[in-house]
Structure 1
Amino acid sequence: MSTSPPAKRQRPDVEIIRSAIWHPDGSVVLQAGNTQFRVHWSVLALHSSFFRDMQGLPQPPDQPSVEGCPVVELTDVAEDVTHVLRALYNPLFFARKAISLPIIASHVRLGRKYDFTAILHSVLERLTDENPTSLDAYEALKRGNGSYSATRVLNSRGIYVDTVTLARENNILSVLPCAYYRVLISSSPTQIFDGVDRGDGTVATLSAIDQRRCSAGRAAILRAQWDTGNTFGWIQETIPAEETGCIDVIACRRKKASFFHRHVVKGSFLAFSSHIEHLKLCRVCSLDGETKLTEGRKKMWELLPTFFELPPWSELKDDL
């Protein structure tokens, strides 16, 4: 394998690196930064209308080349190009159950830029599956104990913060309400502003606009979950016992008041809580509470985008 430098104008202090993705029978060399990849026009054109159109353009006489292959310089980082090319040459790449968020991010960025439609849709499906637009889908992701851990996206420290950043920067708006909420319930107020340690020496941080949205969303959700008609708005209702049929008025009122004050002081996120058995209310109040809780959770979900300064679900479209 030749180690001669490509015939292109380079700064004398720049060392060209040949990537492991180097097919001897390739017909084009992509260069990202100082890293080169030898691949096939046919493979690029098969998956991307951008490269399909570029392949048909006449080459200028001074086109740089390497081993007879034209060099196409990209403005992308080499890591993004590496991830995408590996997927293009490996038909089983997306058969894996979980893929890391950095790899997904590479496919989103280059998929949008170069119209790699199929791989873009594949990674978007993973993001939207993990950050759904319906309450039923959100609930379906919970484990038996009510907790959640990503399954189609490889779980990692800072994943929720990084998901928000990726979705907002690439206009994947439908993902944002759930992603913002996941940041709130998994991060302390300090982490929202200072970031989340990824455990590898780097920190996942939110932009100023995302910090503001999370801060405003925190206050709005903690208040709204207790409003009449919402998740636990019924806790503070003072309906006469003869109308509710409560079996133990004094005990139920005391338990409701204790629940309310305890969780207000703790700042608990209960917007989508689905269990009230721990309140130990009487049979009548429990049944009434479950009904109101179900309807209140639905209402809170409909309001979720607005808590983060976003349009309602019906107007929240991905701009890809």
Structure 2
Amino acid sequence: MSDSLMVDEHRSKRQRTESEDAEPKPPPLVRSTEYWFDDGNIILQVESTQFRLTKSMLSMHSSVFRDMFTIPLPPDEPTVENCAIAILSGDTAEDWILLLGVIYPKTYLGGSPSARLLTAMLRLSKKYDFPLIRKDCVHRLKQEFPTSLKKYDKTNWNFIKDDPDAFLLLISLAREIELHSILPQLYCSITTLFPNKYLRRILDPADTSLAASDRLACLLGHTNLLRLQATTTLAWLDWNAESPPIPAEDCCSSSDCADAARTIFISIFNPPPPSRLPEIWILNDWNKDWDLMLCTTCRRKAKEIYNAGRETCWQELPAAFGLPPWEELKSLDFE
């Protein structure tokens, strides 16, 4: 091989090595198309996005920014269009776009914000101390996920109906911002309402939607709730007991009610495809279809057992997922 070819080959290898070792260039800075105000006097840079905003608006909402703006800038501090630049590390531009949509609303928020919007507002309002926004978000979450059965029975889950991943998103948020009192109901929702969907995701090691501790809590809770309902809400279905609750002593059609209890038991604990997991009836309302299968006397007795069981299950709900009692969970909330 000639000297010139060896030099060319060496140069080529060196160029490739230097190229491979070089750190990737950061993405170019872009200005927000929605939140770049001509009268803005501060620029927030989040990831590669810059927002030109007003100090007065940020200071009105946030004590962190209010304090920040009282500190004079060094004379050689770089500026853009005579505006100082505040680089916010650890945040995402997507979260800030959602939060700024609340601070600078184009329409009245009203109604029901999405779980994604609530997550962004709570995360940033806690970090930068936006007390009014944070208080409103926490209030909404505690309304949707209360700590009493009476309030639970009145909830509608307004902002998560159309978001299939809302429960996973809110579990991670509750951990992050220390809103512990909503965790039992979030875990319960995953394990009771959507077990075939969510438990498979929890068992999938490639799915990183939840932390390992939350995965374990859900799996543990699913097993514990199955056991709990057998002695509470569904105790009236124990047709193998020496003195089964159904049929009742004064039942007018004991064989029919006994068969009904057996049929309901099998449908819950051995459901036909495509559902492969037993159903969990601990907080659900009484199934009105069961009314048609039982006589008046047995129906009354079964409902009494079922409704008393719901009260017991609610009190035991945190423990089923390895959490402290309701009152302790409330005391652990960050506010």
TM superposition score normalised by structure 2: 0.79
* Alignment-derived partner of residue 266 in structure 2: 261
Deviation at 1:14, TM superposition (A): 5.0
Please give the secondary structure, in 1, of the residue aligned with 2:51: strand
Q: Does 1:249 find its partner at 2:254?
A: yes
Structure 1 residues 78 and 258: CA distance shift in structure 2, 3 A = same
* Alignment-derived partner of residue 237 in structure 2: 235
Q: Does 1:182 find its partner at 2:189?
A: yes
Alignment of 1:183-222 (within 5 A): 183-184=190-191, 185-188=193-196, 189-194=199-204, 205-222=209-226
* Alignment-derived partner of residue 136 in structure 1: 150
Structure 1 residues 39 and 208: CA distance shift in structure 2, 3 A = same
- Report if the CA contact (8 A) 2:98-2:120 is conserved: yes
The residue identity in structure 2 corresponding to 1:278 is D
Structure 1 residues 234 and 119: CA distance shift in structure 2, 3 A = same
Deviation at 1:240, TM superposition (A): 8.6
Deviation at 1:252, TM superposition (A): 2.6
Please give the secondary structure, in 1, of the residue aligned with 2:270: helix
Structure 1 residues 58 and 261: CA distance shift in structure 2, 3 A = same
Give me the whole-angstrom Cα distance separating, in 1, the residues matched to 2:48 and 2:287.
59
* Alignment-derived partner of residue 319 in structure 1: 334
Alignment of 1:1-320 (within 5 A): 14-20=27-33, 21-75=35-89, 76-90=91-105, 92-95=107-110, 97-141=111-155, 150-153=157-160, 155-184=162-191, 185-188=193-196, 189-194=199-204, 205-227=209-231, 230-236=232-238, 238=243, 244-266=249-271, 267-279=278-290, 280-317=293-330, 318-319=333-334
Which digits, 9 at most, give the CA deviation of each residue in 1:65-97, with x for residues without a partner?
A: 2122111110111111222122112284422x2
Deviation at 1:122, TM superposition (A): 2.1
The residue identity in structure 1 corresponding to 2:52 is R
Which digits, 9 at most, give the CA deviation of each residue in 1:259-300, with x for residues without a partner?
A: 223322231111123325534222212112212211111111
Q: Which runs of 5 or more structure 2 residues have no equivalent in the other structure?
A: 1-23, 272-277
Which digits, 9 at most, give the CA deviation of each residue in 1:131-169, with x for residues without a partner?
A: 232223332236xxxxxxx42346222222222222222
- Report if the CA contact (8 A) 2:269-2:279 is conserved: yes
Q: Which runs of 5 or more structure 1 residues have no equivalent in the other structure?
A: 1-10, 143-149, 197-202
The residue identity in structure 2 corresponding to 1:300 is C
Give me the whole-angstrom Cα distance separating, in 2, the residues matched to 1:12 and 1:167.
35
Deviation at 1:253, TM superposition (A): 2.9
Structure 1 residues 246 and 42: CA distance shift in structure 2, 3 A = same
Q: Report which of the two structures shows the higher radius of gyration computed on alpha carbons.
A: 2
Deviation at 1:45, TM superposition (A): 0.8
What is the root-mean-square deviation of aligned Cα atoms in Å? 2.7
- Report if the CA contact (8 A) 2:236-2:244 is conserved: no
Which digits, 9 at most, give the CA deviation of each residue in 1:186-227, with x for residues without a partner?
A: 14231222399xxxxxx7722211111111111111111011
Structure 1 residues 72 and 154: CA distance shift in structure 2, 3 A = farther
Give me the whole-angstrom Cα distance separating, in 1, the residues matched to 2:226 and 2:327.
24
- Report if the CA contact (8 A) 2:145-2:185 is conserved: yes
TM superposition score normalised by structure 1: 0.83
* Alignment-derived partner of residue 6 in structure 2: none
* Alignment-derived partner of residue 146 in structure 1: none
| Residues paired across the two proteins, number | 294
The residue identity in structure 1 corresponding to 2:158 is T
- Report if the CA contact (8 A) 1:16-1:36 is conserved: yes
Give me the whole-angstrom Cα distance separating, in 1, the residues matched to 2:247 and 2:185.
40
Moved over 6 A (4+): 240-243
**Greater displacement, 58-67 / 33-42:** 58-67
Give me the whole-angstrom Cα distance separating, in 1, the residues matched to 2:219 and 2:234.
21
- Report if the CA contact (8 A) 1:15-1:34 is conserved: yes
Deviation at 1:314, TM superposition (A): 1.1
Percent same amino acid at aligned positions? Answer: 31
Deviation at 1:116, TM superposition (A): 0.7
Structure 1 residues 24 and 277: CA distance shift in structure 2, 3 A = closer
- Report if the CA contact (8 A) 2:63-2:128 is conserved: yes
Structure 1 residues 31 and 93: CA distance shift in structure 2, 3 A = farther
